[in-house]
Structures are given as C-alpha cells and as structure tokens.
Amino acid sequence: MFDLKKEWSISFAGCGFMGIYYVGATSCILERFPRFIQDASKIYGASAGALTAAVLTLGIPLEKCCADLMSIAKEARKHKLGPLHPSFKLLQRVQDTLLKHLPEDAHVRASGKLSVSLTRVSDVKNVLVSEFDSREELIQALICSCFVPFYCGVIPPRYRGVHYVDGAVTDNLPGCQLKQTITFSPFAGESDICPQASTLNLPEVRFNNVSIQVNSENLYRVTSTFFPPEPEAMAEICHNGYRDAFRFLQENNLISSECPIRNLAIDSFKYVCCEVVKESSVKAQQDGLNPLWEDHSWLDPHLVENLPIEIQRVLCVACRETRTTDGLFSYMTGYLPKKVTSYIQIPYSLPVELVSSLSQRLVYWIPDLQRDMSWLYSMVGDIYKQALKDDKEESDSLDKSSLSCLQTMQNGMARLPCSSKQAHIAHFFYLKVLYLH
C-alpha cells in the first residue's frame, strides 16, 4: 500500500512510440491526484520515459506532447520503411520538439528532481544525470537517453563531451530498486502502473529491470515501440493508460476529494472532441454533406471517452487526418492501390532516396567529422588494446598454471616407479602441445 507520509519517487521505463501510454496514465494522475507528481522527490526516466519525466517535471501541457508524438508517428508511417527509412530523422524531430517546448529556465527547474538514465559508450556503464548547467545541456542529456544504436544512427550524441546512448541499454527502469518508487511501464508485467495481462501465470522476462510477461499482447506492444501503429490504435493505448492509472489510484485510496469525480462509464458521448471542427461541419451540412461531428467514423468515441477533453481533441484530429469520410470504397479504390504501388517501387526508388538522405546527413555531419572520426578510431583502438591485454593476462595465467602443474608432477614423479614417470611425462607434453595449438 502506498504511504503518503514517506518520501516517494516515480520511474518511467523506455518504450519508444508506446510513450502515448504515459500520456493517458499521467493525465489521469494530474486530473485525479496531482500531488502524486508534484510532490515526488525524484522523477526518473529512460529513453522515451525520460521525455515523459522531463515533461512532468517542467509542467509542460500533456496535450502538446500528445500532439507532437502523434505528428512524429504520422511522419514515420509516411515512409515505406517506417522509422528505418534513411530520410526519417527521429532524433532531429525530438530535438526540435524539445527546443519548442522547454522554457529558458528548464535546466534550473529540472536539476535535482529529474533523473535521466544514460549509457556511457566507453565502458557500457549506466549513468544517472540529475544536474544540468544549461537548457542546451538538458536537451543533450534527453537526446542521448533516446539514442538507440543503429535505429537512430551510428555516431552517438554527446553529453558534456562524452558519448552516450539509450539509458535503456543498461537500466530501463532507473530507481526501481529504491523503496517507495512507483514504476510505470506500457508492458504487462509487475510494474505498479502497467496493463493487466489477459492470462494469469504467464512466464516473464526482465529487460534491464523492466518486467515483461511473455504473451502476444506484449509482443504487439514491443513492436509498436519501434514502429508506430495507426492513430486509432494509439488512441486506444492512451485510453488504456488512463484506466490503468485510475485503477492504481483506486487500489491505493489516492483519489483526491479536491478534484471533481467523473464516472468512467459515460452513457452517451457528445463528440466534444470535435468542437474544433464544428464550423467546417456546419459548412459541410450547408453543402448537403454529413456533418463531421455527427458522423465521427474515423474514431470510436468509446476509445477516448475518459481522457481529458484537450487530449481527446488531439487524438480525434490525428485520426481524422488519416481517414476519409467516404468510407471503405474510397479506401479500397484510392489509398490502397497507391500504397501497394509505392511498395512495388521500393527497389527502384529506395536507392535514390538513400543517396539523397545520406548526402543531407553528410552535410549535417561535416562540422563534427574530424572529431567523430577521431572518436571512432579511439574506440576501436581501445577495444583492440583491451583484447590484447585480456589475451596476455590469459596467456600468463595459463603459463603459471602449467608451471605449477609441472612442479607438482615433478615432485610426485620422484616417488613413482620408472614406468609411471614415463607415462606422466608423455601426458604432460601432450597437454602442452594442445595448449600451444
């Protein structure tokens, strides 16, 4: 049972595009029991969880973060290979979003409370960063924590001049071992706030402190971490996050009496998420078309009915932008053939796009070319030296072991009959030959 009299912390696991789950979960907590986040002594995070931790620490409106995440996911789905397409720059989009939303004093407000999980490249050790000297330094730490090797690029970003990669590589749920740390994860497992598994007594695996049950639902969630699903599916994930957080608050008697209570079972949904498009709907009605806010075919209202209105609107607009109001026939005759044609053209168009993308990245990389190449050579040299050192230590250890064995055998053979001595000497030289080869 959660004890409000003791100090507590919060930790968010890394989860890529599944971070939409945190939007729903934290929106419930901010609506029902905001003190849970406001009075937390530390807010930990790794990768996408670090971005959520920064948003909560700085008090950035969740609907803005939701809109940015849906926009990045939409951009990723446009490409034939999704986020793996060479022209898609995930970290550049994340950095632009941070520059747009983080206030000038973000580093001052984040220092001491926000804790970002990083993995140092030089020794593959986990580092928790909680102090930031500038806004740019805070952004650098967040970018480093989100850098998945090869998925995001080859040369890792730097924080204070040192190369780091995704904190999830070494600790995907920082601070979870501490008492009174409430853990968030979009994967069904043993975290405090996470989806409930549809089947009990399932085996689980632990990925750097994150408990993940082995089932088909979690397999889908892991896939969605790297390849964003359609907007309606992301809206459902967000709504599930809200429900899971609400269940946690109920089980721990943390529903604040100061906050208005909304029933989670709403009998009739009035499409309040579409108030922003009512004017265009009225015009459509005047032209003899069905009003958008009455049709609402692009998003099942029950998938977002419990979310705050601002987040409902963001999800509604994102779904409306990807669905036509003409129904399935329009999809089959318009969008689907274009999509199939685009996949057929991949062997021809991808090389051209690859050359163009690599050229753009090369221009972007040129200012840091000398420094990054020096780092690559240095890293390869360190690995080679360490391999030689380990090989030499192993060789010395084996030589000492062989010498000790020889002395022991000599002492023992002094007391053996002649025939036994000859057999032991032959056996010793046989072992020596095997060692040399």
Q: Give per-residue pLDDT as tens, 55-82.
A: 999 999 999 999 999 999 999 998 777 8
Please determine, for residue 341, whether its predicted confidence score (pLDDT) is greater than 70. Answer: no
- Does residue 309 sit within a domain? no
- Does residue 268 sit within a domain? no
8 Å CB contact between 71 and 228: no
Looking only at the bridges linking them, the beta strands covering 181-184 and 9-12 are parallel
Q: Confirm whether 47 is a catalytic residue.
A: yes
- Does residue 262 sit within a domain? no
Both tokens of 275, joined, read 């108030």
Residue type, 81: L
What percentage of residues in the chain have a pLDDT greater than 90?
47
Measured distance CA(148)–CA(157) in Å, rounded: 11
Q: Confirm whether 382 is a catalytic residue.
A: no
Measured distance CA(353)–CA(349) in Å, rounded: 6
Bigger pLDDT: 126 or 333? 126
**pLDDT per residue over 188-213, tens digit each?**
999 999 998 776 667 888 888 999 99
Q: What is residue 288's predicted lDDT score, i.e. its pLDDT?
A: 55
- Does residue 35 sit within a domain? yes
- Residues of the domain holding 123: 9-252
Q: What is the pTM of this model?
A: 0.73
**pLDDT per residue over 245-282, tens digit each?**
999 999 998 886 555 555 544 434 455 666 645 554 45
Q: Which of 9, 11, 27, 47 is catalytic?
A: 47
- Does residue 401 sit within a domain? no
- Does residue 311 sit within a domain? no
Q: Which CATH number characterizes residue 82's domain? A: 3.40.1090
Q: Which of 11, 115, 145, 166 is catalytic?
A: 166
List the one residue out of 431, 423, 378 whose CA is nearest residue 401: 431
- Does residue 107 sit within a domain? yes
- Does residue 289 sit within a domain? no
| Count: domains in the chain | 1
